[in-house]
Structure 1
């Protein structure tokens, strides 16, 4: 699934959109190729992560260990909101994203954006944060089918 806006684009695995049907929040980190905006994989909650109805906290070392072992770039953080709750980000989400982005931009000087998908039920919304901490919502790109030329006998 490709999401884009304002010259920013990101490819996400379709499997990510299936994570929003659980009653407790969950999340993880996005790993991939930052220059291509391509998410190759993502982590899922570890045993030490906190999962509540309105809160998810990455506490398990498995996320950092997966990042280091993968050789891929850190691209952002995804999480879910339980079905029936807002699909928009909360003030707490925004503050967490800003704090995390400041730290990650300091560690990754070539990064231009970090990405923050939220899955609510079957709805997936994606935001990109730039170095000035501005957010841009990315939208699914329309896929146009290929046309098949008619052969003249």
Structure 2
């Protein structure tokens, strides 16, 4: 639990570390130090690819129980590639995070809405899941798929 908080379910942070995030593809960042810094201050989970590699390094801040009760939703931050941005994330989480405290203005530059295929209907990031390629009517794959209840094809 982060220092100084009494919330039984504090904010949680998910840090993408897979194909682009957390690798040498993002130069000039001490990736291990970034995760260590955040982990010393809050609960941090490391995920597989979140599917928004063009925004590496991606950090998702999920609200605490109090934040969810106040209407807070997960906030996706991209290009979190310098110590100042990492500290801004940590300061926001210390202040209460989504639904409890307004983020520092500078984080507006990092915030983005993930594509639907990534965000999905769940309340948390989809860890390591990728959308299947669409099957076009009349294609060989479409011919071999069996219809499921509700009209969708199984593959």
TM-score computed with the length of structure 1 as normaliser:
0.26
Structure holding more strand per residue: 1
Structure holding more helix per residue: 2
Structure with the bigger RCO (C-alpha within 8 Å, sep 6+) is 1
Higher Cα Rg, which structure: 2
TM-score computed with the length of structure 2 as normaliser:
0.26
